[in-house]
Amino acid sequence: MPVPTDPSPALADYAHPERLVTTQWLADNLGAEGLVVVESDEDVLLYETGHIPGAVKIDWHTDLNDPVTRDYVDGEGFAQLMAAKGISRDSTVVIYGDKSNWWAAYALWVFTLFGHEDVRLLDGGRAAWAAEERPTTTDASSPAPTDYPVVERRDEEIRAFAPDVLAHLGNGPLVDVRSAEEYTGQRTHMPAYPEEGALRGGHIPTAVSVPWARAAAEDGRFKGRAELEAIYAGEKGLQQGDDVIAYCRIGERSSHTWFVLTHLLGYDKVRNYDGSWTEWGNAVRVPIATGAEPGDAPARRS
């Protein structure tokens, strides 16, 4: 049974307010039957320093990624992970984390690849909970194992691969959510250190630049719908019905933007290109644009 959604007026304007909960709602609902709270952070030890009582930890590196292939776990792996974390197929899962919920959004996106129906973010994440001095604990959570079905991962709707992006050039909008320096292709050479991660700098031609953080308010919560629309629709021209692909460096910041576009603004065809710049910037003979302009789609190679 899903836990009732958060009726807070603060969320009501969003396209899918049922995908967010406020800190107050979570405080009121901790321990509710069918609710599992998940912490997902950039820092793999942060959970251990203190977490929301009863929350379980899911780490993007060590839990969600396949250890060998650059891919997510498969249906079997996900089912095992869910079972170990006490999550059932019909659980309401609320995810929160550090860095304005980057990794929480990433985890939510992976849950969505497996079609887990009721998965929500805690607006403001870990920082908002801490700022309000709400209770935390270092006690390890030991959920009762569940029986989660093996569900095949469905990538096609919300995940883009490099060939999809190539085919997309000139046919639909691309959103680059990295910093301006990464977008333009400027390099920051550190003394005695090679730049790691990508051999080439710049962005995918035609991509508009909207650094992910523009969607976040000062306190790490999401900006209101009108402000978000002013950025993505007003300034960048994304229209309802557009087939949108977002990317960053490894797909984590673009999960945040994917969440904003899909659940807060209601775009229904948004894909996250998780290969992102660490794939594109290393791939042979893919087109790249540098500088502040999006650049043109290249002529098709026959």
Convert 164-182 to b/e letters by CB count within 10 Å (16 or more is b): ebbebbeeebbbbbbbeeb
Question: In this chain, which stretch among 59-67, 152-160, 200-208, 224-232 interacts with other proteins, using CB under 8 A?
Answer: 59-67
- For other proteins, the closer of residues 173 and 281 by Cβ is 281
Active-site residue among 169, 245, 248, 288? 248
CB of 30 to other proteins, least distance (A): 22
Q: Is position 190 an interface residue for other proteins (rule: CB under 8 A)?
A: yes
In residues, how long is the chain? Answer: 302
Name every residue whose Cβ is closer than 8 Å to that of residue 200 and which is 6 or more positions away in sequence: 185, 281, 282, 288
98 forms part of the interface with other proteins (CB under 8 A): yes
Which residues have C-beta within 8 Å of that of residue 43, sequence separation ≥ 6? 98
Q: Does 74 interact with other proteins (rule: CB under 8 A)?
A: no
User: 196-255: which residues touch other proteins (CB under 8 A)?
Assistant: 196
Nearer to other proteins, 33 or 196 (CB): 196
Binding segment toward other proteins, per CB under 8 A, in 26-34, 144-152, 191-199, 215-223? 191-199
Among 193, 300, 301, 302, binds other proteins (CB under 8 A): 193
Reply yes or no on whether 248 is catalytic.
yes
Can you tell me which of 28, 43, 157, 219 binds other proteins, judged by CB under 8 A? 43
| Interatomic CA distance for residues 194 and 257, integer angstroms | 29
Strand partners, 229: none
Q: In terms of CB distance, is 42 or 242 closer to other proteins?
A: 42
Contacts of residue 47, Cβ cutoff 8 Å, sequence gap at least 6: 39, 41, 55, 57
Distance set, CA 284 to CA 138, 196, 252 (Å): 47, 17, 23
Binding-site size, other proteins (CB under 8 A):
17
Task: Kindly state the smallest distance separating residue 244's Cβ from other proteins, in Å.
Answer: 27
Cα(52)–Cα(169) distance, integer angstroms:
43
Catalytic residues: 248
Residues that bind other proteins (CB under 8 A): 42-46, 48-49, 61-62, 67, 98, 188, 190-193, 196
